[in-house]
Amino acid sequence: MDLTPTPDQEALRHECRQWLQQNLPWEYGQGLPPLFDDLAEEVAYLRKWQAALAEARFVGVSWPVEFGGRGAGPLHHYIVQEELARARAPELVGRLGVNLIGPTLLAHGTDEQKQRWLPSILPAEQLFCQLFSEPDAGSDLASLSTRAVPADGGWRLSGQKVWTSYAQFADWGLCLARSHPDEPKHRGITVFMVNMHAPGVDIRPLRQITDESNFNEVFLNDVFVAHDQVIGEPGNGWRVSQSTLTVERGTNPRQLVIHLQLLEELFRLAADTGRNQDPVIRQALARSYIEVRLFQLQNWRVLSRLAHGRDHGPESATAKLFWSEMSQRLHRTAMDVLGAAAPLWRGDPHNPGEGRWQRSWLYYQAATIFAGTSEIQRNIIAERTLGLPREPR
DSSP string over 108-149 = H--HHHHHHHGGGTTTTSS-EEEE--BTTBSSSGGG---EEE
User: For the chain, how far is it from start to end, CA to CA, in angstroms?
Assistant: 41
DSSP β-bridge partners for residue 173: 129, 194
Using CA atoms, how far apart are residues 177 and 139, in angstroms rounded to an integer?
16
What values do phi and psi take at 311, rounded to 5?
A: -85, 180
Find all residues with CB under 8 Å of 296, minimum gap 6, and list them: 256, 260
Q: What is the largest CA-CA distance in the chain?
A: 70
Helix locations, the chain, DSSP H: 7-23, 39-55, 74-87, 95-96, 102-108, 111-117, 237-249, 253-273, 279-307, 316-338, 356-363, 374-380
For residue 154, give the 3-state DSSP assignment. strand
Cβ 155 vs Cβ 176: under 8 Å: no
Catalytic-residue membership of 248: yes
Which of 42, 82, 217, 248 is catalytic? The answer is: 248
Write out the catalytic residue numbers.
248
